[in-house]
């Protein structure tokens, strides 16, 4: 493993443009449940069609609102972990580093990552159902969706099943993936598209791909380095090894 970490640190030492592409696994050590893990207790009785589609929201707005309110509460109660923090540290040591995440929990930004591309939106933001007007300062603890100034109900700014990803964010993610020379793929099963296409785009454009995951995924086949392990453990080791080989202690 140490050899693989040294190889990764050497790739970082020559990289000019780095992308860190993350999924639910990077938040696991903070205690954030994935969509399915979160469906415990009362919520286990509902299927994703009911809780996470526009049709589900239209059929029962208070139910869907309360589900996301409950998940927002869970996110508020946790902190970024050593993996999120190591990514911020790496960003201070290479010329350019951008985070592209599938997570809606906002933990990369809370750790200090700048300009995070949130492919699947954010549980912390809202917009209105009918007109997509953005809404600020939505109070916590409401039992049903408040109304926008236009009269439409507010909804969480997350991408539901069957919805398109935000066009500008996806376009920026494609461009960064094409332009980077090193992509880290961290804690994603690599099966939900179009997000899962990003490592293939990077690889086809000539970037090196480093994957961190305790389990192999479909992306492992194209990874130049596969680091089997937990991101909160492996990423800080990469930072330390990088500092050693480049002499770049803060
Ligand atoms: N460190 C790194 N990877 C981990 C860790 C960890 N501590 N713990 C688990 N993993 C890995 C798992 O092995 C798995 O491959 O993280 C991956 C999580 O997979 P998913 O739960 O399927 O999450 P993700 O790939 O982000 O899902 C993509 O699907 O549910 C929808 O829209 C939702 O954004 C989500 C998308």
Give me ligand 1 centre to Cα 189, in Å.
5
CA dist 227 → 3, 20, 220, 230, 233 (Å): 10, 14, 10, 9, 11
For 2-31+80-120+165-246, CATH gives 3.40.50.1220
Which residue among 20, 21, 22, 23 is best mutated to probe the pocket of ligand 1, counting the most ligand atoms within 8 A of its Cβ?
23
120 CB within 6 A, ligand 1: yes
Strand partners, 127: 134, 155
Tell me, yes or no, if 233 is annotated catalytic.
Answer: no
Domain ranges in the chain with CATH number 3.40.50.1220: 2-31+80-120+165-246
Tell if the pTM clears 0.85, that is, is over it.
yes
> Choosing from 84, 120, 133, 249, which is the catalytic residue?
120
CB of 215 shorter than 6 A to ligand 1 = yes
Quick check: 225 and 184 in contact, CB under 8 A?
A: no
* pLDDT of 250: 55
Q: What is the pLDDT of residues 37-85, one digit of tens each?
A: 767 777 787 888 899 999 999 999 999 999 999 889 989 999 999 999 9
Task: Kindly compute the dihedral angle of the four CA atoms of residues 126, 113, 218, 204, in this order, to the nearest 10 degrees.
Answer: 110
Q: Which residues of 183-215 are buried (b: 16+ CB within 10 A; e: fewer)?
A: bbbbbbbbeeeebbebbebbbeeebbbbbbbee
* CATH architecture type of domain 41-77+128-158: 2-Layer Sandwich (3.30)
Range list for CATH 3.30.1600.10 in the chain: 41-77+128-158
Copy the structure tokens of residue 139.
């109070």
* pLDDT tens, residue by residue, 142-172: 999 999 999 999 999 999 999 999 999 999 9
Mutation probe of ligand 1 site: the residue of 20, 21, 24 with most atoms within 8 A of C-beta: 24
How does pLDDT run across 13-26, given as a tens digit for each residue?
999 999 999 999 99
């Amino acid at each position: 493993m140490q050899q693989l970490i040294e190889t990764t640190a050497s790739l970082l030492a020559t990289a000019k443009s780095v992308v860190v592409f993350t999924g639910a696994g990077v938040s696991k050590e903070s205690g954030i449940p994935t969509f399915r893990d979160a469906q415990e207790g009362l919520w286990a009785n509902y299927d994703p069609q009911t809780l996470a589609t526009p049709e589900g929201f239209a059929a029962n707005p208070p139910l869907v609102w309360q589900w996301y309110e409950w998940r927002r509460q869970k996110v508020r109660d946790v902190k970024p972990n050593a993996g999120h923090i190591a990514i911020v540290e790496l960003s201070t040591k290479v010329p350019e580093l951008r985070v592209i995440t599938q997570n809606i929990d906002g933990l990369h930004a809370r750790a200090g990552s700048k300009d995070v591309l949130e492919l699947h939106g954010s549980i912390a933001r809202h917009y209105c159902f009918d007109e997509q007007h953005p809404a600020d300062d939505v109070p916590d603890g409401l039992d049903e969706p408040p109304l926008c100034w236009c009269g439409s109900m507010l909804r969480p700014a997350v991408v539901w099943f069957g919805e398109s990803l935000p066009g500008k964010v996806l376009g920026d993610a494609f461009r960064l993936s094409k332009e980077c020379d090193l992509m880290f793929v961290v804690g994603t099963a690599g099966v939900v598209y179009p997000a899962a296409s990003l490592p293939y785009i990077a690889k086809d454009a000539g970037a090196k791909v480093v994957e961190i995951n305790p389990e192999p995924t479909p992306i492992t086949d194209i990874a130049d380095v596969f680091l089997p392990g937990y991101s909160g453990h492996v990423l800080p080791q990469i930072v330390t090894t990088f500092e050693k080989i480049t002499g770049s202690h803060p």
